């Protein structure tokens, strides 16, 4: 007789424990919660409150399982979402234990006692964990015959989020998200016992940039979206993975559409980038796709000055004729904005070099500087997640300094990572700014206060030895391995700031990452939509590099003169030194001087506009060529990490063309071949060009500019940036979203308010020679003599109204002041 | 040879039987009471629509013949009791197979079938019936929506005791809008 040899059990690895679940032996890392171990085995225990990114709560009790420890069964079933694994544990889920199954059915019956029969009218119906789990682990009937508890419904807790307390099962996912992840604890449990409910404080509105996530993680229909209310059912929707087009974080998303229009967007799950979250702007701002301002047909300007619709062939012929004439006269400039995908930006870059035969192309549709280009060439071009700073690196960093960047307003997902790191491992966050914003508070950041314009000087003075204790601490913290400096693109408004960042990084050894505001900026930089750089960061000034690119593009030579920046191009147009412009995705009101920009656009000999919506550019253009929005095209963005974020079309894409296709055809009319007919072709062409191996240039060394100083009574230095939810051109037609914007306020410190006679809550006005902005005053901890305005919020379009920007001198007075022509001051 | 007479016998005897031929279209015999004919969207006794736009009928439909979009009732524009109503409702009779699964799925008894069967046409467009065509006609005492809830304070009143309340409202009894009995039933 043969005896089968006894199987030798592998020893349990260090840091692991061995337990048995439903008769299956498994090793789990110490500290893992039971429900997660079950998941890895493919055993799904029903649950409501458990969420992998939130801390365990054990609130709903739906995940009860039978647990045996050391041979002794626990007296009652245990919640598997709060119990950690232990060696020798024997777990029986509902699949093998009648006790666990009965316990789960009992909990479900209890949860359903006060749950209304709303399924037919509830937005969650069809994708509702409560519905599904009531089927899988609930009783077929209820023994409850008494009156159900009722509440008035729905209760709008903001203009975007509606609360139905009858449906709530008190799992606390929303309150835990608000408290742990977003840091806006305006929603919380109220009352006790049977009256326990979710609610908001009467005097504090639920105001959060991330409120949409609570809707997505609500396991019942208690939190619903006002914009998506009663719009469709899950089985109507066609879901496609997509990428957010609103900022440079590049969140993964899911776009749900019905009958050719987008119904909603949900956060996708990308642990490397946005985890499972996305900001409200990315989630809710998509109605621009159907807005009345969409351009669907090509248009040309007739002799009488009117724009009339025409055919593509006619429009392209007129555009090509006009551009050829302009090229033969003084030349053409190309201006692009932040909405471009990598493929589009590459097409514009190639179009400028081959068809327009110039290096006069710039993607920076905002204040810009030559120093910035040097900085970008040194720190941003060509970085990838493998070589540069990533979200993960930001989270792991012991210390982070943000410069010219308010993470919550300008890069929401970066803010969430910072907050997570602060909570998880006590990361030190320093913020070079003007006042303690909500985001500063929520990341427990140390504010390094600077008068607008003096940021560079403040950074230069930071040394380990010098000055205030804060300064020594900052430099010390940044010297730690893995520390990061995050720079926003507003730094271009302060002369010397990029240089100061470079110097500080050299002094401390911290890594530097550039976080532009808009989705396309990083891609445009790498694709060569820059006056001094060809694709891949190849310097225009290098003849060998030019020859290499010319050979790859199949042309004899590329223009050798380094190009001009956006401001210089517009200046040249105004002086009559350029006779044609190709403009894509630029809003004149974003530019350094909107008035000058409009003059230039009006005066230019021939203006071609590639645009989705009617804008300040299309109303002056000679030819308007409609282009496809992201939802109707394929493409990719480079997010600030340099990570390629590819997306496909979500809606039917027939009849609309992406920028790269339009430019390709336009170039053919001008007798040049771009080979960018489709995004795939453009990307292939760009990738064939390959990366540019070169020594990283040293960063810029521009001395810090003079600190602006109010010269007379009533003057102040203007600080300004954009709030996340504002009058951005892609946020149109979203009343529910606009309702959650932070109110626009003039902010000064109490001493300045006293001196200028301003009172909190009362109106005051900020004025230059161009105009005035009148808003209520709010007191904050700004430096003395500094006034802050949101850059593009309702009633506060700073550049358009004042012609001023960050660091300009403005006049501040109480009441609704007269701006025009009263006194002097003006834009500095 | 008697087979010959047998055959004529059948013919002759049939001459005295009642004919089964129906004189359609001159004569218009009704279909069986439970015939699966054209759909109808029913109304509450005060004229408000029973449809809540839940799309369960569209979900149940094996032929994908039903298209529904929900809408949000407001105090100014109320089409049904409760929060939600069917803003768009279409049945495509080119696709409908008359199976009646939609009727079974309807949670409010809004959708039922009539025994009307004359639904032939000479073009496809007209065979997509819209909400206006499908809604039941207004009976005496009904009012064309949008209008406020006449029979109670919320949708529970309508579902639990709509006809009773309607009868009482018709009889002019006071307190129909707010009665304690309804509270208890709930």
- Give yes or no for a cis peptide into A154 (omega within 30° of 0): yes
Q: How confident is the model at residue A1 (pLDDT cuts 50, 70, 90)?
A: low
CB A170 within 8 A of CB A60: yes
Mean pLDDT of A369-373: 94
Q: Please tell me if residue B54 touches chain A, with a CB cutoff of 8 Å.
A: yes
| H or E element that contains A716 | strand A715-721
3-state secondary structure A747-811: EECHHHHHHHCCCCCCEEEEECCCCEEEEEEEECCCCCCEEEEECEECCEEHHHHHCCCCCCEEE
pLDDT at A826 over 50: no
The whole-angstrom distance between residue A333's C-alpha and the CA centroid of its chain comes to 29
Mean pLDDT of A513-542: 95
Test the B interface: residue of A120, A126, A258, A260 with most B CBs within 10 Å: A120
**Closest chain A residue by Cα to residue B52:** A121
CB contact under 8 A, B71 and A230: yes
| Cβ neighbour number for residue B10 with a 10 Å cutoff | 8
Q: What is the pLDDT of residues B165-178, one digit of tens each?
A: 778 877 765 444 44
Of the partner residues B53, B59, B108, the one whose CB lies closest to the CB of residue A230: B53
| d(C-alpha A159, C-alpha A737), whole Å | 7
pLDDT at A827 over 50: no
**Closest chain B residue by Cα to residue A120:** B54
Q: What is the pLDDT of residues A137-161, one digit of tens each?
A: 999 888 999 988 889 889 998 899 9
Q: Please tell me if residue B107 touches chain A, with a CB cutoff of 8 Å.
A: yes
CB contact under 8 A, B56 and A229: no
Q: How confident is the model at residue B28 (pLDDT cuts 50, 70, 90)?
A: confident
Q: How confident is the model at residue A820 (pLDDT cuts 50, 70, 90)?
A: very low
Return the bridge partners of A720, or none.
A789
Q: Please tell me if residue B105 touches chain A, with a CB cutoff of 8 Å.
A: no
| d(C-alpha A585, C-alpha A615), whole Å | 9
- Which is more confidently placed, A771 or A828? A771
CB contact under 8 A, B69 and A121: no
Return the bridge partners of A793, or none.
A796
H helix and E strand count, chain A: 25, 38
| d(C-alpha A270, C-alpha A630), whole Å | 20
Q: Please tell me if residue B56 touches chain A, with a CB cutoff of 8 Å.
A: yes
Q: How confident is the model at residue A468 (pLDDT cuts 50, 70, 90)?
A: low
Mean pLDDT of A102-120: 94
Of the partner residues A125, A147, A154, the one whose CB lies closest to the CB of residue B186: A147
Q: What is the pLDDT of residues B31-58, one digit of tens each?
A: 888 899 999 999 999 899 999 999 999 9
Burial of B107 (0-12, 13-18, 19+ CB in 10 A): middle
**Closest chain B residue by Cα to residue A119:** B54
Burial of A677 (0-12, 13-18, 19+ CB in 10 A): middle
Q: Tokens for A263?
A: 């119904």
Of the partner residues A121, A153, A232, the one whose CB lies closest to the CB of residue B52: A121
Of the partner residues A120, A154, A232, the one whose CB lies closest to the CB of residue B56: A120
What is the model's pLDDT at position A822? Answer: 40
Q: What is the pLDDT of residues A597-627, one digit of tens each?
A: 999 999 999 999 999 999 999 999 999 999 9
Half-sphere exposure of A363 (CA within 13 A, CB side): 34
Burial of A197 (0-12, 13-18, 19+ CB in 10 A): middle
CB contact under 8 A, A233 and B59: yes
What is the model's pLDDT at position A693? Answer: 79
Angstroms from B58 CA to nearest CA on chain A: 9
CB A447 within 8 A of CB A455: no
Let me know the angle formed at the C-alpha of A513 by A507 and A518, rounded to the nearest 5 degrees: 145
What is the model's pLDDT at position A466? Answer: 58
Interface of chain A toward chain B, CB-CB under 8 angstroms: 119-121, 125-126, 147, 153-154, 229-233, 235-236
A147 contacts in chain B (CB < 8 Å): 186
| d(C-alpha A232, C-alpha A264), whole Å | 10
| d(C-alpha A510, C-alpha A477), whole Å | 10
Q: Is the pTM of this model over 0.90?
A: yes
A235 contacts in chain B (CB < 8 Å): 59
Angstroms from A153 CA to nearest CA on chain B: 9
Task: Output the CA–CA distances (angstroms, integers) from residue B93 to A127, A192, B37, B60, B128, in the order listed.
Answer: 29, 54, 10, 16, 6
| d(C-alpha A721, C-alpha A404), whole Å | 9
Q: What is the pLDDT of residues A646-663, one digit of tens each?
A: 999 999 988 899 999 999
**Closest chain B residue by Cα to residue A146:** B186
β-strands A746-748, A399-403 pairing: unpaired
Start-end of H helices in A263-311? 280-284
Q: How confident is the model at residue A824 (pLDDT cuts 50, 70, 90)?
A: very low
A126 contacts in chain B (CB < 8 Å): 59
Q: How confident is the model at residue A674 (pLDDT cuts 50, 70, 90)?
A: very high
Angstroms from A194 CA to nearest CA on chain B: 19
| d(C-alpha A761, C-alpha A775), whole Å | 9
| Cβ neighbour number for residue A802 with a 10 Å cutoff | 26
Q: Please tell me if residue B60 touches chain A, with a CB cutoff of 8 Å.
A: no
Mean pLDDT of A81-88: 94
What is the model's pLDDT at position A472? Answer: 82
Beta-carbon contacts of A189 under 8 Å, excluding residues fewer than 6 positions away, are A170, A172, A175, A196, A197, A198, A199
DSSP secondary structure letter of residue A51? -
CB contact under 8 A, B107 and A229: no
pLDDT at B102 over 70: yes
Model ipTM value: 0.85
Test the A interface: residue of B84, B107, B108, B154 with most A CBs within 10 Å: B84
Mean pLDDT of A266-275: 95
Test the A interface: residue of B70, B81, B108, B156 with most A CBs within 10 Å: B70
CB contact under 8 A, B55 and A233: yes
pLDDT at A783 over 60: yes
What is the model's pLDDT at position A823? Answer: 39
Q: How many CB pairs under 8 A join A and B?
A: 38
Of the partner residues A121, A147, A232, the one whose CB lies closest to the CB of residue B83: A121
Mean pLDDT of A297-302: 95
Let me know the angle formed at the C-alpha of A353 by A350 and A356, rounded to the nearest 5 degrees: 105
Q: Tokens for A744?
A: 């626009």
Task: Output the CA–CA distances (angstroms, integers) from residue B1 to A472, B4, B5, in the order listed.
Answer: 130, 6, 8
Q: What is the pLDDT of residues A49-63, one digit of tens each?
A: 999 999 999 999 999
CB A636 within 8 A of CB A644: yes
Of the partner residues B58, B84, B107, the one whose CB lies closest to the CB of residue A230: B84
- Give yes or no for a cis peptide into A276 (omega within 30° of 0): no
CB A767 within 8 A of CB A802: yes
H helix and E strand count, chain B: 6, 5
What is the model's pLDDT at position A200? Answer: 84
| Cβ neighbour number for residue A452 with a 10 Å cutoff | 27
What is the model's pLDDT at position A544? Answer: 93
Q: Tokens for A197?
A: 């409910």
Q: How confident is the model at residue A593 (pLDDT cuts 50, 70, 90)?
A: very high
Q: Please tell me if residue B146 touches chain A, with a CB cutoff of 8 Å.
A: no
Q: How confident is the model at residue B181 (pLDDT cuts 50, 70, 90)?
A: very low
**Closest chain B residue by Cα to residue A125:** B54
pLDDT at A814 over 60: yes
Q: What is the pLDDT of residues A169-224, one digit of tens each?
A: 999 999 999 999 999 887 888 888 888 888 887 777 778 999 999 999 999 999 99
**Closest chain A residue by Cα to residue B153:** A152
pLDDT at A21 over 70: yes
| d(C-alpha A402, C-alpha A429), whole Å | 8
- In chain B, positions 70-99, which contact chain A (CB-CB < 8 Å)? 70-72, 82-84, 87
Test the B interface: residue of A114, A118, A121 with most B CBs within 10 Å: A121
Angstroms from B185 CA to nearest CA on chain A: 8
What average pLDDT does the structure give for chain A?
92
Q: What is the pLDDT of residues A333-353, one digit of tens each?
A: 999 998 999 999 999 999 999
């Amino acid at each position: 007789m043969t005896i089968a040899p006894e199987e030798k059990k592998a020893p349990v690895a260090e840091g692991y424990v061995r337990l048995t679940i439903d008769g299956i032996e498994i090793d789990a890392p110490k500290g893992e919660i039971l429900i997660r171990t079950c998941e890895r085995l493919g055993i799904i225990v029903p649950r409501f409150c458990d969420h992998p990114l939130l801390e365990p709560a054990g609130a709903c009790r739906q995940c009860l399982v039978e647990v045996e420890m050391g041979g002794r069964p626990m007296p009652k079933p245990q919640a598997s979402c709060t119990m950690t694994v232990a060696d020798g544990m024997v777990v029986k889920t509902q699949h093998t234990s009648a006790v666990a199954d009965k316990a789960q059915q009992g909990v479900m019956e209890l949860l359903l006692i006060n749950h209304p029969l709303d399924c037919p009218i509830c937005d969650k119906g069809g994708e509702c964990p409560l519905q599904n789990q009531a089927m899988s682990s609930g009783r077929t009937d209820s023994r409850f015959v008494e009156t159900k508890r009722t509440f008035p419904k729905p209760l709008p807790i903001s203009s975007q989020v509606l609360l139905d307390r009858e449906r709530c099962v008190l799992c606390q996912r929303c309150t835990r998200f608000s408290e742990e992840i977003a840091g806006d604890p305006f929603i919380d449990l109220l009352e006790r016992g049977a009256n326990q409910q979710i609610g908001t404080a009467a005097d504090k509105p639920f105001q959060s940039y991330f409120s949409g996530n609570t809707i997505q993680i609500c396991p019942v229909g208690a939190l619903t979206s006002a914009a998506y209310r009663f719009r469709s059912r899950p089985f109507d929707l066609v879901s496609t993975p997509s990428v957010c087009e609103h900022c440079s974080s590049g969140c993964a998303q899911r776009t749900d559409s019905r009958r050719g229009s987008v119904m909603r967007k949900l956060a996708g799950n990308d642990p490397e980038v946005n985890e499972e979250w996305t900001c409200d702007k990315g989630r809710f701002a998509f109605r621009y796709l159907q807005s009345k301002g969409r351009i669907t047909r090509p248009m040309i300007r007739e002799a009488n000055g009117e724009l009339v619709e025409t055919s593509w062939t006619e429009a392209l012929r007129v555009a090509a004729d006009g551009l050829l004439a302009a090229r033969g006269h003084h030349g053409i400039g190309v201006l692009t904005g932040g909405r471009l995908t990598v493929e589009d930006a590459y097409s514009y870059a190639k179009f400028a070099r081959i068809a327009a035969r110039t290096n006069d192309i710039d993607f920076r549709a905002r204040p810009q500087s030559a120093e910035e280009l040097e900085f970008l060439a040194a720190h941003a071009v060509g970085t990838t997640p493998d070589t540069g700073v990533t979200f993960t690196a930001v989270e792991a960093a012991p210390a982070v300094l943000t410069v010219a960047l308010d993470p919550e307003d300008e890069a929401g997902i970066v803010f969430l990572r910072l907050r997570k790191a602060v909570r998880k491992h006590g990361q030190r966050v320093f913020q070079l700014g003007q006042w303690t914003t909500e985001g500063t508070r929520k990341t427990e950041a140390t504010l390094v206060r600077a008068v607008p314009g003096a940021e560079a000087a403040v950074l230069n003075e930071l040394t380990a030895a010098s000055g205030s204790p804060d300064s020594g601490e900052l430099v010390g913290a940044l010297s730690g391995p893995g520390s990061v400096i995050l720079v926003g693109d507003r730094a271009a408004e302060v002369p010397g700031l990029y240089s100061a960042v470079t110097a500080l990084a050299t002094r401390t050894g911290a890594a530097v990452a550039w976080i532009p505001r808009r989705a396309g900026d990083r891609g445009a930089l790498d694709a060569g939509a820059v006056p001094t750089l060809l694709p891949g960061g190849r310097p225009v000034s290098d003849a060998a590099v030019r020859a290499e690119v010319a050979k790859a593009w199949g042309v004899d030579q590329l223009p050798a003169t380094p190009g001009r920046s956006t401001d210089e191009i517009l200046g040249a147009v105004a002086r009559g030194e350029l006779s044609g412009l190709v403009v894509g995705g630029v809003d004149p009101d974003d530019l350094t001087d909107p008035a000058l920009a409009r003059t230039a656009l009006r005066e230019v000999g021939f203006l071609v506009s590639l645009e989705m919506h009617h804008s300040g550019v299309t109303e002056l253009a000679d030819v308007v060529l409609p282009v496809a929005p992201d939802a109707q095209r394929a493409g990719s963005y480079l997010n600030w990490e340099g990570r390629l974020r590819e997306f496909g079309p979500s809606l039917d894409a027939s009849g609309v063309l992406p920028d790269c296709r339009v430019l390709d055809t336009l170039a053919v009319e001008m007798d040049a071949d771009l080979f960018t007919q489709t995004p795939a072709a453009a990307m292939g062409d760009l990738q064939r060009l390959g990366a540019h191996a070169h020594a990283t240039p040293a960063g810029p060394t521009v001395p810090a500019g003079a600190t602006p100083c109010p010269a007379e009574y009533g003057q102040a230095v203007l600080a300004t940036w954009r709030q996340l939810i504002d009058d951005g051109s892609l946020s149109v037609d979203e009343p529910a979203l606009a309702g959650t914007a932070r109110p626009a306020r003039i902010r000064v410190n109490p001493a300045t308010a006293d001196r200028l006679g301003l009172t909190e809550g009362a109106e005051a006005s900020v004025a230059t020679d161009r105009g005035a902005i009148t808003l209520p005053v709010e007191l904050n901890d700004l430096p003395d003599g500094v006034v802050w305005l949101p850059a593009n919020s309702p009633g506060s379009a700073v550049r358009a109204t004042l012609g001023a920007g960050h660091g300009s001198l403005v006049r501040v007075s109480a009441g609704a002041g007269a701006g025009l022509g009263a006194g002097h001051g003006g834009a500095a | 040879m008697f087979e010959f007479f047998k055959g004529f016998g059948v013919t002759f005897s049939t001459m005295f039987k009642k004919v089964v031929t129906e004189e359609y279209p001159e004569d218009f015999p009704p279909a069986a009471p439970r015939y699966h004919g054209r759909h109808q969207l029913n109304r509450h006794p005060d004229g408000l629509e029973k449809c809540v736009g839940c799309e369960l009928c569209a979900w149940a439909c094996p032929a994908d013949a039903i298209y529904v979009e929900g809408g949000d009732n407001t105090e100014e524009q109320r089409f049904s009791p409760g929060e939600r109503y069917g803003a768009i409702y279409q049945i495509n009779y080119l696709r409908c197979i008359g199976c009646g699964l939609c009727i079974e799925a309807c949670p409010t008894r809004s959708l039922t079938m009539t025994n009307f069967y004359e639904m032939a046409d000479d073009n496809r467009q007209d065979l997509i019936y819209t909400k206006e065509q499908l809604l039941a006609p207004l009976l005496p005492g009904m009012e064309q929506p949008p209008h406020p809830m006449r029979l109670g304070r919320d949708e529970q009143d309508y579902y639990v005791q709509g006809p009773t309340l309607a009868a009482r409202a018709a009889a002019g009894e006071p307190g129909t809008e707010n009665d304690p009995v309804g509270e208890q039933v709930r």
